Structure 1
């Protein structure tokens, strides 16, 4: 059971790392080239959707952010 959880943890960690790399790539691509994608406004709207839900949204954002550690 412990090996299975370690395996899942490894997969999730890998996916989060890839996701972070893609976000950083799109941010730098948007800085260097004028693209139609705007990852910064997407991140801002995601955080705004959490904060717009009040205290429950703020707590959900904190829990969501704690998963990335």
Structure 2
């Protein structure tokens, strides 16, 4: 039987893969078709939110990126 930490790690890894695939899908869909969504703008706004938070926001961004 698998341990809890390996179960959680594999679940989060799978979920991360699905989120990455969805982001890539929406970026290409926005390039090919004129959709109402702007995935690149949303990502840029998220990064701007972290960077405008000063040193704390920058540290949170580094921790967040280390999980990916």
Gaps in structure 1 of 5+ consecutive residues: none
Alignment of 1:1-69 (within 5 A): 3-68=3-68
TM-score by length of 1: 0.95
Which whole-Å CA distance do the structure 2 matches of 1:13 and 1:52 have between them? Answer: 29
Alpha-carbon displacement from aligned partner over 1:17-62 (angstroms, at most 9, x marks no partner): 0000000000000000000000000000000000010011001000
TM-score by length of 2: 0.96
Gaps in structure 2 of 5+ consecutive residues: none
- Structure 1 runs (4+) greater than 4 angstroms displaced: none
RMSD value, Cα: 0.9
